[in-house]
Structure 1
Amino acid sequence: MLRRIVGKAMEIRAGEHELMEMIAELDRRGAASELGYKDLPYVLKHAVRWDRTVAKQWVENAALLSAEITPTGAELAPKLPATASAAAEGALSVEHVKVVAEVMKKLPAEAEASVVDFAREHEPSAVRSFGRELAYRLYQDDPEPRDSDPAPQVNDLTLDWRGDLLKVSGTLDKITGAKFEALIDPLAKPRPTTPGEGPDPRTRTQRQGDAFAELIDLMLRADQMPEHGGEPVTLTLTMRYDDLAAQVGAATLDTRERVSADQVRQLACSAGIIPLVLGTQSQPLDVGRKARTFTAGIRRLLVTRDRGCAFPGCDRHPKHCDAHHIQHWADGGATSVDNGVLLCRHHHRLIHHSGWTVKMANGIPIFTPPKWLDPDRRPRRNLIHAF
């Protein structure tokens, strides 16, 4: 039944591509003007009963995927030829096409094939993350202006008493915001489900509000600050040492936000620097069979290697991930970097209860899908974090 659903979805997508070709032909013929309309999206709005924003997106996608005809009658290739080919096969949905077009605005034409290959196996949101990372890596070595003054930090806080309640609102710069988020996150986790109370009924904003209140209490007894991921709350930045010394490039936070080298050097003046050197004695790489849980040092190395959930296409940040034993500890697996992988809660559960498997290959986590998803069971990796 599931294979039939996949086949039917591909038929629908191929039909969508055919529909886009028809829309492009209407646009070439000037149908809107002939019918007395301002533009083709307005025609489709009335003819197909689409919202104008939806109709406009279909017209824009059609223009990208269809061949153009010059005034002399010559046919030009589509603006996104690889995308057009994949859409015609039924491999890409309308939403895929929209996202590919969006990310290609910041990428050279030769990158389209890589983006489309990724889109064939992942959902649109993952394609957007992949395109963003690819654009950064392609242009990260471009020269940066050195003569402009750095933008001033923006930190403001408003306290407004309204009867018995204090309304707090503010804006924090990137570094301060990341520190604050790192403090709030472990305190804002949902309470465990219990037979008596059931699941935590609080919304995310309510949990974060309660976490803020708890943080205030913790600051009054600073020696009792919470741990997160097995270690005291820490702001982790990953950067090549040579770049830091030369004040070029950028560091990456656990959230994958990038911080300039100047800001990193400023942080280094007031914060400890933890060296992450794979294969040396600076951090423990293997704690043997005695410890079941991953130590702070090993988790830090997993964060440096995996940069978030290692499952293909997932863009969850390290702070939302668990360290998973590839060979289960109870089955003799070591608590080590080579036997560990970062997985978000959803994909951690999936690895334990589905046909997906994970193993290490050349120091990289490689995932194999179940047969119902890919009869050939071709290995996959997370390319979003692979740069």
Structure 2
Amino acid sequence: MTIQHTPPFDVPEVPHLDRLPLEDLMRLAHEATRSLTRRLASTASLHELSPAPRPEEAAADWGAMLPTDGGKTTAGETHPTPLAATEGAASFTLPVLHHALESVARSIAAAQMSLARHTSEVFEVPATRSRLLGLPEGKTAFRDTADYLRGMLRIDTSEAKRRLRHADVLCASRVLTGEALPPQLPELSAAVHAGTLDRAAIDHVRGTVAEARRIATRAEADPEVVERLITEGEATMVDQGQAMEPAMLRRVCHHWLRWFEAAVDPDGTEPTDLDAPREQGLVYKGRRNGFHHWLLAANDAQHETLRTVAEAANNPRARQGHEEAPEAEEVPPAGGAAGPVDESAGNGPSANGPADTALDPRSRHQRSLDGLIACLSAGLSVADSKALPWTGGTRPQVAVTIDYRTLLGDLVTAGAASAEDLAGFESSATFTGSVHPQLIRTLACDADILPVVLGAEGQVLDVGRAQRLFPARLRQAIAARDGGCAAPGCSIPAPWCDVHHVQYWERGGPTSVDNGVLLCNHHHHAVHAGAWEIEMDSGRPWFIPAPYLDPQQRLRRNRYWRR
């Protein structure tokens, strides 16, 4: 299938554009888009549009005014106009303008994707990276291409990764010999570069094809048959994607994928150990309505462990804190024999026991979670456990930070808090962030408390005598000050960080709180590679970027963990 894009209205041909230097072409495009933005910002632009065609009969189908083919194409056909516009200048209507502008935006997105691909190839070769990007040939301040795009373009990491994902399958690539390889999904690539598919539609088709390949690999299907089916399926999905919105295309892709699975693996295949890394795991889904949501996919052995904990917490005959109790004789409910009880609501007699409902109003789900948390808390409290790795000489543990007055409740009993009180207020957990002080007071009832004196600016004033290496208490004190990786913009939590000597030890720097800073592995190596210099001011670390990051080398510090 070949896609030949015809714009929704007549555009004067400018044959010399393809021969313009890239810099001149970029300036021209930039000025054109700026001019277009200014024109469309004014309501006067509506006076330049033609009236939309109206049906001659009152009973005419107004749905006919919408594009029926969308940019639908088949082999050998010319791409039709987004709307069935009339000939001549009178065809430039508001709907046509919408479609034209959308096509321009999609074409720009395709150009951004292609440029991200080129940048990725440049970034991987140290010499080329230094020549074209101005970055050091060794360790840089950026982890990878996505991190570079995020920092330089000020875009979200997910957007940078999305461009690179699309480029992997939609752009041509080169092997080590220099030979050019066509895009992995040629039909989808042609539609994208023609500006006829939304980015969400690209995700649907790309993800569906990728899942189809995984299904075929698992089923050990004939490669030739698989490639033929995927090629036909790609053409079908691209064709449909140019005629419908992404939400409907997602349903089409799902339907095709189920058909493909039935065709290549009619009997189904039980998941193997190779599937576990992809399907199995624990995923944090974010916070909604005051609660943190997790998604869990476990194998049979893991499920049995979890179920054992949940059932123990919900066993109506269990008596927490007592030795084994004699079983009570079951008494059928009044009116007949005992029957099945629906425990889905979590408040039935079998959930708490008839006599315990008033004493324990928790639902079944709440008791299951409480039982699981109790087991995890007990495991973390075992100092000699080898099941979890230690970090910096400290076993895994729930770490919270609170200022002394808030811990004692002085700010509550004193009435209205002053500005000075609020400036020194601190109540946070390592991974959750700000939490209510009452939660920390509850945890403090059964916790190891490290006394660290914090000044009004949050700097550590006293932690006891210093030692040559960073011991656990010094590390905890620095974590209380920094919260996590202290590099600007980094959100890596404290347990995953190293303690770095601001003034290097080999250059006479002491091992002390004032000379220590938390850095994640990436930023630790980046600092040693010269991407950042660190200065301590009032007990807080400040970072000076290398000239290639910021020619003005303005002081920065992490605002994610601490104000």
Rg larger for:
2
Structure 1 length-normalised TM: 0.49
Structure of greater relative contact order (alpha carbons < 8 Å, 6+ residues apart): 1
